[in-house]
Structure 1
Amino acid sequence: MRGSGLTRDLSFLLARANALSLAAGNAALAEHGLRVRSYSVLALAMDDIRPSQRDLAAFLRLNPSQVVALVDDLEDRGLVRREADPADRRNNVVVATAEGRDCFVSAQLAARAAERELHGQISSRQRDQLAELLQTLAFPG
């Protein structure tokens, strides 16, 4: 089937590459009790941006109820905590705990190793080009 016209369809190629990437990422993160989505929430909670659950849902393109479930799980495991947003006390922001930071550091190493293996057939220059092109598509304007 590799010779079919579908292999020249950009949307199909992006979807297939995404599926392969998610599978490799989930396998690498499993030893840390994470999946790509929960890892993504933890990664954003690590930054100083202090995202709200609404911000996380919009950025990750997830339903807000999915984000609530992800944050609940990470919070139950002691990896993140919800704090009142100093700019608007009606909202909560998600912040990584010390345990969450430790988990993220080791999980990130596993995720990067899986990424290097998955993308091993393209050069470093091509990988940088791909990242730049995907950023342009993911964050237009």
Structure 2
Amino acid sequence: MLESPRTVEPGPIEHREPTITRQHATPKPIDANEPWMRGLHADTGYLLYRLGLRSGQLFNSFLQESGLRLRHYAVLRFLATGEGALQRELSARLGYDPSAIVGLVDDLEKLGFAERRPAPDDRRSRIVVLTEGGRAFLRDTDEAGLRVTNELLDPLDAAERETLHALLLRIAEDGLH
């Protein structure tokens, strides 16, 4: 048979002075050179993340009138570099989930900026190609895109911008597969 728990009536609260031991009274000095003591701006990964967020905000702001987002723009820019791509290739190259690519391409098709066509080497597959409307959109937004980039990179001179671009390109080619 299980016993029921006993109830203990609270008694008066005793006031006791805290006991401070020697080890707590004099903490070890903090070494500012410890890696965990660095500020966020000392972390390159965090800076890249924050700049990516800011860049996305600026690009989305300029794209807002068209009803597109940066992801749509990225698909269009990728399609502009070739003769079309399979949706799975877009997914792999841009780093977007395949289901997201379907929706993005659907949106671009509705606007007349891209279309799906039978793949020349496999009739069961369809490639996504940039339409003339998509090319015109990219031409029209190119200057605004450059303004966004210039706003983001304003603190850098031309040589620093070239160096930054070359370094980011190297990282992207090696690390964004």
Q: Is the Cα–Cα contact under 8 Å of residues 29 and 111 in structure 1 kept in the other structure?
A: no
Give the equivalent residue in structure 2 for 1:37: 71
Q: TM-score, normalised by structure 2?
A: 0.73
Give the equivalent residue in structure 2 for 1:71: 105
Identity %: 37
Q: TM-score, normalised by structure 1?
A: 0.91
Choose which of 42, 48, 63 in structure 1 pairs with 2:82.
48
Give the equivalent residue in structure 1 for 2:30: none
Structure with higher Rg: it is 2
Q: Is the Cα–Cα contact under 8 Å of residues 32 and 103 in structure 1 kept in the other structure?
A: no
As a proportion of its length, which structure holds more helix? Answer: 1
Distance 2:165 2:73 in 1: 19
How many positions carry a matched residue from both structures? 138
Choose which of 159, 162, 168 in structure 2 pairs with 1:125.
159
Q: Is the Cα–Cα contact under 8 Å of residues 80 and 97 in structure 1 kept in the other structure?
A: yes
For 1:28, the aligned partner's letter is: F
Give the equivalent residue in structure 2 for 1:60: 94
Tell me which of the two structures has the higher relative contact order, counting C-alpha pairs closer than 8 angstroms and 6 or more residues apart.
Answer: 1
Q: Secondary structure at the match of 2:84?
A: coil
Q: Is the Cα–Cα contact under 8 Å of residues 83 and 129 in structure 2 kept in the other structure?
A: no
Tell me whether 82-91 or 66-75 shows the greater mean CA deviation. Answer: 82-91
For 1:75, the aligned partner's letter is: E
Give the 4+ runs in structure 1 shifted more than 3 A: none
Give the equivalent residue in structure 2 for 1:21: 55
The structural deviation recorded for 1:46 is: 2.1
Unaligned runs of 5+ in 2: 1-37
Distance 1:133 1:15 in 2: 16
